[in-house]
Chains A and B, each alone.
Chain A
């Protein structure tokens, strides 16, 4: 938006910024339409004012009054249970490790459940994270039933009077019915101990339009309560969460900003939008 008057090229530039951030064609067109109307009504002329309006519209889109807090407090005499889900390689295991670090810093007793019994060395990876942040990991036999590992982990958490049990699950593509059924079962089996408090869907910020499909299907199968947007430390903008939040009404709660234990932060709509609009 470097021009001094608003010709069609200037509007195309606005559109290009949004499309290049993976906001998607339809949300982009709707945003630009709304912006054009406002510019007309307000008689706005300068690119700076339009830039401010665009920012305002985007913040309103991603930052409505959604509850972004995590339910991680012990309640009814048992630990809070957090289930972490998503497609392959998005950052689930890493997020569990980072989240455990945050909770430990809040003086909570945390326990990890290694319900990815499928991927090579997945349980080792989680256990390494556990050791790194100083919490125990419950694991089962390799290739074993993930639901029973998750069940055992929560049971151990109840017995140890832990505050939170974080259950890591295997990556699975949402179009694999068998694997999605397996995930539904993991949740149902854990629920024998009581309701699951949080189901966090981990979305990779580099993901394009398929992210919306992922969110739809996972939400259907396990009732997602929050999104974690990872790898925001890269060049990707993660604009797909605009559509995800709007369609599912599920808030982005956390963002991943690196591979280190401290690289997890609360989602801040203003900062997210500023990064999305930055060159």
Chain B
């Protein structure tokens, strides 16, 4: 039983080593191991299939160099392909020409949106911005209080005109936040929204209404790194329902392999922009595709 792609490939390559080149049989055997390892890393099945096809193609066409053994060559091909899909270079946050810049957060329940709002606020504040957090989750019990606490910890203001817990209209709050931001000279507005399922048509419409009300410069899809095969279904639903420009992967301080990063990047073509890696507001980083590739590969 091999736990990581690294172990798996190493075992396969033990057999390949010394042959000097990759035969079709070698490529097939290797592809099977990569398939299993990617599935165990939670890469979604359709993405695994596409990935394997691409890697096989490249492996067949690859110039077989004498300097590297087949194992190293396949690892390099797989790794390059992963990094390419994961986005190569990290995209930066787009700021509006006329402030405020609006960032809207969306995602499944419990993904880490509210915590991320605090992290973004702190990160922006440290770069000299004047961020405003907007409490547009008026549904989940005490989501508003949670954002207020998070805002306090980040040392930023929170726009929370409604108490939540079922009271207030999130679309109106989102709309009102822009006026408030302009009046008080906040230059970045981060809108926290309620968690919602991809198949919840009503709540997806609400998200689209919030989006239309604030015309965000960035809609960020917040995704739990522990998610499994459902990642592609959910990402597609959010893409169709509200649309998003970038992805934030959360809970990367765990030991999940995070194959969802690959699934979503491949499916949507949107790059993962940030990594959330802890419960504290400082536990936040820009996304590093190479690190993620290594993590998925278990190397």
Q: Which residues of A contact B (CB under 8 A)?
A: 16, 19-22, 24-26, 87-91, 93, 97, 118-121, 124-125, 128-129, 132, 173-176, 204-211, 213, 231, 233-237, 240, 259
Contact = CB atoms under 8 A, between A and B. Distances in A.
B224 A89 contact: yes
Interface stretch (B90-98, B239-247, B248-256): B248-256
A231 B198 CA distance: 12
Interface of B: 1, 36, 39-42, 44-45, 108-112, 114, 139-142, 145-150, 153, 165, 197-199, 224, 226-231, 233-234, 237, 251, 253-257, 259-260, 279
Contacts of A88: 110, 112, 251, 279
Contact of A259 (B140, B153, B199): B140
Interface hub of B41, B110, B198 (most chain A Cβ within 10 A): B110
Contacts of A237: 229-230
Nearest to B42: A208
B141 A208 contact: no
Given A128-B141, A235-B230, A16 B45 contact: yes
A125 B141 contact: yes
B228 A206 contact: yes
Which one of B140, B224, B234, B257 has the highest number of Cβ atoms from chain A below 10 Å of its Cβ? B224
Contacts of A204: 110, 224, 226
A209 B199 contact: no
A22 to B, nearest CB: 4
A207 B234 contact: no
21 contacts: A16-B45, A20-B45, A21-B229, A25-B39, A87-B254, A90-B110, A97-B141, A120-B145, A121-B146, A121-B149, A125-B140, A173-B254, A173-B255, A206-B227, A206-B228, A207-B227, A208-B260, A234-B108, A235-B234, A259-B109, A259-B140
A89 B112 contact: yes
B259 A208 contact: yes
B111 A210 contact: no
A207 B199 contact: no
Contacts of B198: 234-235
Contact of B279 (A119, A175, A206, A207): A119
Given A25-B40, A89-B224, A118-B279, A210 B256 contact: yes
Given A89-B111, A235-B199, A206 B140 contact: no
A258 B153 CA distance: 31
A119 B257 CA distance: 25
Contacts of A132: 141
Residue among B42, B228, B257, B259 with the most chain A CB within 10 A? B228
Contacts of A240: 228
B199 A19 contact: no
A101 to B, nearest CB: 13
Contacts of A118: 279
Contacts of B141: 93, 97, 124-125, 128-129, 132
B227 A208 contact: yes
A208 B231 CA distance: 9
Contacts of A87: 226, 251, 254
A206 B165 contact: no
B150 A120 contact: yes
Given A120-B146, A259-B109, A210 B234 contact: no
